[in-house]
Structure formats: structure tokens, C-alpha cells
Amino acid sequence: MFSETPLTEITNPEASVQGLRNDNPDNWHDHEFYYKARIGETINSKYQVKASIGSGMFSTVFLAKTLLPECEQEIAIKIPRKNDLMLRSAKYREHLCLVMESLDLNLRQITNKYGRNRGINLKTICVYAHQLMVALQHLAHCGIFHCDIKPDNIMVTKSRRSIKLCDFGVAMFARDQTPSAETPYLVSPSYRAPEIILGVAPYSHQIDMWSAGCCLYELYTGKFLFPVATNNGLLKQQMELKGAFPKAMLKKGAFTGMHFNENFEFRQLDPVTKLETLRSMASFNVKTSCLSDLTGEDGALMSRFKNLLERMLTLDPSKRITPDEALKHPFLKSVCK
């Protein structure tokens, strides 16, 4: 998630930038190898830096304008931190620059700004969900897993009418799956599909569908569907929401033994001793509907929304709704009316 830390304004940007051009290359980036852009700096004679949009773990993003009179516009430039891989393909001062459309806020920021932490209206979610399913459909057709779908990685245009899926830093081709010790931690925790945690490989594009379902719930309620960070805790909450996992799914999981013996072994810290304890759980109190607490002013539209989420959050990925099926769902067809 990017932090909104604007660049410090400088009195004479041209003089500062001119001095930078003749400076030591080590001054082009900070001690952590983030590129240090200056207000007014011109990149490759094409783009002039206007401000900093923010910085993340792997890169910084700057707002810039094009210097071509025939197509002057605002764009965003994402500059990853300098490392050996990026250095081999570097284009500007030992940094790779990714020029893209300048967008406004992400869906988490939209929810906080307009939903006041209570979520946004269902008709808007219908429009955004339809566009998200189109994106997932396209990724599936291209054989790509996004692997990190969450509100932070879905940008909204300035008109607020369109969303765009972004940040493909951990995306992979379906054919390139390689199980490893890190595999159970693929995807951010609150959006991590159960088959990832259990190691039911090979994974399908349905890992992104699960994440999308978590996002839609969050957009409407303004809160996490699974507010927990550990895989063991996630499995518990997923079963409390949807019931026991199919036995065939557990049998196939490479990591099932980390969480199940004869029953589910729930790990938690003792509040007094601060030591981890194990609690064997043979059953769970499951709600009649995993989304029974959702209510809205439009009963028919809400009913369709809840049904879509139920199908997006099916534990068994082979029975989870696909993007093609979702685009035909009554809730998403509502956007065309």
C-alpha cells in the first residue's frame, strides 16, 4: 500500500535539476536505492515530474506530465528500487521506469473517503464488480494469476466510473507454478484462498476469484471478511463461515497436516502465559448463510449480491463460480439495466 508523502517543493527546480544532472550517480537514489525525483525534473526529455504519488516496499510512483504538445496529459511513472535485475534493463539513471495512465484513488481509499468505513452503495459495487470480472476473465484467458487482488491494488479513475486492476508484481503464469516453502503465503492474508493454505495444487485462476469475493464484501461493509493474519486462523474463520472442508480437498492438500490431525488443530496464544496452545475442533458453528448479516435498502439486488458472494467464496475451487459464469450472474447483469 502506498503512503501519500508528497515531494518537498523546491524554490528553483530547474537549477536543482540541472545540478543533479552533473552530480554523482550515487545521488540519483537514496540509501535504500529508491529513485529521488525532483519537482520539475525532466525524464528522457518526454516527462516532467510534478509530484510524488507515494512509495511502497518495491517502488515509488510519481505524477508527471508529457512534454509533447500534440498529446499533453498527466501520467504516472512507477520507478522500482534499483537492484541487479533492474540494473540490467535500466533506462534512466540506472532505474527502470514504467510509464502508465495516471489514476486517482484505490478502492480502499474510496471506501474510507466516501463510505466512511461503512462501505459504498450496492449499485456502485455492481458496476465495479462487473469490471473486475471482466479483468479476471481476461487474466484467465491469458493464463495469468494476479496473486494479490485486494482493494489497495484496484485503482479508480478520476471520473469514479471505472476501475483498473494494477500491481502485477507477484503475478505469475499458470504454467510457472513451482511449489515451495513460501507457497502457503501466496496472496495477502485476508484475501488468501483456502486451497493456497492447504496446498491443494496445482492452483487455478479461482484463487483470484476468492480474493475478489473478499474485496466485494469489504467494499459493502467497510470491514475485512477475514480479519486475521495467520494461515491457521484463516482456516478457522473460513470454516466458521462456510463449514467443513471437503475430505477430498483435505486429502489432496500438501500442507493439510500442518493444521489437521483427526480434527482441526487451532493454534492460539494463551493470554496469560503468552504460550501457544492447541485446541482440537471437531465442528464449527456455521451461520445459515455466510453473508446473512448483510442487509440493504434494495432487497432484490441485495439477494442477488449475497448469492454471488456465496458462489465466489465456495471452499472447493472446482465448484467456485468462474469469471465467465459470474458475468452472467443476475447481480452483474443488473449493471446493464
Q: What confidence tens digit (pLDDT) does each residue in 233-279 have?
A: 999 999 999 999 999 999 999 999 999 998 999 998 888 888 888 89
Give the span between the Cα atoms of 43 and 47, in whole angstroms: 5
Report d(CA 168, CA 149) in Å as an integer: 9
Catalytic residues: 148
End-to-end CA distance of the chain: give it in Å, rounded: 35
* 78 labelled binding-site residue: no
More confident residue, 172 or 169: 172
Residues 147 and 110 in one domain: yes
Residue 194 lies in a domain: yes
What is the average per-residue pLDDT within 89-94? Answer: 65
pLDDT band at 89 (very low <50, low <70, confident <90, very high): low
Of 165, 131, 137, the residue nearest 151 (C-alpha): 165
pLDDT score of 183: 83
Residues 205 and 309 in one domain: yes
The per-residue pLDDT for range 230-239, each reduced to its tens digit, is 999 999 999 9
Nearest CA-CA partner of 65 in 56, 76, 57, 52: 76
Pairwise CA distance, residues 193 & 183, whole Å: 12
**How many structural domains is the chain composed of?**
2
Domain boundary among 59, 75, 102: 102
* Helix, strand, coil in percent for the chain, rounding step 5: 40, 20, 45
Do 146 and 270 fall within a single domain? yes
CATH number of the domain residue 57 falls in: 3.30.200.20
Domain of residue 65: give its range.
13-102
Q: Which H/E stretch holds residue 248?
A: helix 247-252
The answer to whether residue 289 sits within a structural domain is: yes
My answer on whether 195 and 114 are in the same domain is: yes
From 102, 135, 150, the end of a domain falls on 102
Q: Angle at the Cα of 37 (from 35 to 40), degrees rounded to 5?
A: 165
